[in-house]
């Protein structure tokens, strides 16, 4: 009986199945109701009692071997034949969900690229600043009312009172302290102001500020640089105009409007029927600011400008509520997924 079990075991292993008919033959031969294995189970009663246990186990192993071999053959057989016929070549491919850049990042990168093309490097600095870099070095004397223009969040850092930077002009002070002119740099980054959150104001937003310092830099250079920027950003028909303004760190100072690209300056509710949209502040760097950072103001002059990225993004993508930028609403963000 042991020899017979062995023999059947071998023939199960070597049985060739290559079509549904031979698979069925396998099933009848080894698993069917009249199979040799079934017969052997019937004969178990004739085995001497002292060997029953051992032979029974051998028989059981044989049955398991037959069943698992059948299952394996069936699986490989089905995956190579039947499944092949199941492939539907007309079915559209499955889409990978791709993420998207946040519109603020997209516009920030575009601004950086525009200024890179005319030789500006990018500089970054800390978001928690000391009074010197955010205010004093920028010609805000202590108790000067201009400090109130930018409602500041103050934080304690050890003994020192620090502030969340209210503009990235602080980075430019750091650059001026560490570099001998010529300097041509932009500083993008997040800034904080203590404002009530609404559609038009937020307690944090993003800026790109620019600084150019060299010998003989003039207001005409500033104007031309900003016109170049406006036309690269909003199209070659864009025009700019300057209105006098005030910042402690620039003199003279101006606010810059770009012609409304939404209505072609005809007047619409975005430009409040003026044909112009305010986009940035700028001016010639005040000599006090140059001196505070160790730059000789009798040799060098410079200009600076600063813009809010949200504002530019609002004009480019017509987003009319500032809060959308930081709510992480997937329906908003999905609109900026690139078309593939």
List contacts with ligand PHE (CB under 6 A).
167, 169, 209, 247, 250, 281-283, 304-306
Task: Provide the 8-state DSSP code for 148.
Answer: G
Q: Which is nearer to ligand PHE, 226 or 304 (CB)?
A: 304
Q: Is there a contact between 66 and 37 (Cβ–Cβ < 8 Å)?
A: yes
Q: Which is nearer to ligand PHE, 185 or 250 (CB)?
A: 250
Q: Residues 165, 168, 171, 175: what is their CA dihedral angle, to the nearest 10 degrees? A: -160
Q: Which is nearer to ligand PHE, 181 or 306 (CB)?
A: 306
Q: CB of 188: closest distance to ligand PHE in angstroms?
A: 13
Q: Which is nearer to ligand PHE, 225 or 250 (CB)?
A: 250
Q: Which is nearer to ligand PHE, 70 or 133 (CB)?
A: 133
Among 220, 213, 284, smallest CA distance to 246 is for 284
Give the distance, in angstroms, between the CA of residue 302 and the centroid of all CA atoms in the same chain.
Answer: 35
Phi, psi of 255 (to 5 degrees): -110, 140
Degrees to nearest 5, angle at CA 50 with 46 and 51: 65
Q: CB of 310: closest distance to ligand PHE in angstroms?
A: 13
Provide the token pair at 101. 């850049």
Q: Which is nearer to ligand PHE, 271 or 289 (CB)?
A: 289
C-alpha span between 57 and 250 (Å, rounded): 96
Q: CB of 136: closest distance to ligand PHE in angstroms?
A: 15
Q: CB of 309: closest distance to ligand PHE in angstroms?
A: 12
Among 222, 181, 209, 205, smallest CA distance to 123 is for 209
In sequence order, the β-bridge partners of residue 154 are: 163
Q: CB of 283: closest distance to ligand PHE in angstroms?
A: 5
Q: CB of 322: closest distance to ligand PHE in angstroms?
A: 16
Q: CB of 306: closest distance to ligand PHE in angstroms?
A: 3
In sequence order, the β-bridge partners of residue 280 are: 256, 307
Give the distance, in angstroms, between the CA of residue 291 and the centroid of all CA atoms in the same chain.
Answer: 40
Strands (E) across 193-323 are located at 204-214, 240-247, 250-259, 276-285, 301-308
Peptide bond into 182 cis (omega under 30): yes
Q: Which is nearer to ligand PHE, 26 or 135 (CB)?
A: 135
| Straight-line distance from the first to the last Cα atom of the chain, in angstroms, rounded to the nearest whole number | 69
Q: Which is nearer to ligand PHE, 217 or 282 (CB)?
A: 282
């Amino acid at each position: 009986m042991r020899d017979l079990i062995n023999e059947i075991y071998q023939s199960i292993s070597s049985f060739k199945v290559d079509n549904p008919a031979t698979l069925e033959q396998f099933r009848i031969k080894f698993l069917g109701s009249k199979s040799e294995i079934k017969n052997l189970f019937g004969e178990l009663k004739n085995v001497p009692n002292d060997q029953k246990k051992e032979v029974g186990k051998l028989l059981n192993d044989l049955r398991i071997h037959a069943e698992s071999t059948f299952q394996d053959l069936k699986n490989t057989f089905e995956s190579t034949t039947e499944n092949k016929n199941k492939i539907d070549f007309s079915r559209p491919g499955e889409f990978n969900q791709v993420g998207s850049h946040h519109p603020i990042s997209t516009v920030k990168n575009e601004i950086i690229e525009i200024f890179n093309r005319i030789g500006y490097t990018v500089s970054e600095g800390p978001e928690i600043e000391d009074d010197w870099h955010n205010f004093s070095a920028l010609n805000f004397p202590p108790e000067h009312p201009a400090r109130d223009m930018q409602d500041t969040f103050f934080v304690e850092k050890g003994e020192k009172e620090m502030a969340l930077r209210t503009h990235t002009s602080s980075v430019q002070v750091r650059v001026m302290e560490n570099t001998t002119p010529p300097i041509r740099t932009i500083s993008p980054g997040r800034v904080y102001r203590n404002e009530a959150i609404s559609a038009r104001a937020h307690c944090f937003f993003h800026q790109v500020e620019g600084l150019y310092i060299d010998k003989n830099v003039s207001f005409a250079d500033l104007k031309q640089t900003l016109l170049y920027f406006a036309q690269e950003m909003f199209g070659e028909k864009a025009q700019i105009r300057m209105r006098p303004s005030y910042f402690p760190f620039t003199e003279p100072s101006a606010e810059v409007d770009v012609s409304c690209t939404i209505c072609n300056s005809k007047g619409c509710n975005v430009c409040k029927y003026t044909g112009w949209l305010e986009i940035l502040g700028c001016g010639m760097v005040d000599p006090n600011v140059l001196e505070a950072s160790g730059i000789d103001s009798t040799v060098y002059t410079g200009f600076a400008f600063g813009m809010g990225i949200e504002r530019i993004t609002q004009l480019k993508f017509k987003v009319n509520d500032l809060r959308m930028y930081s709510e992480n609403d997937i329906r908003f963000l999905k609109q900026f997924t690139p078309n593939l």
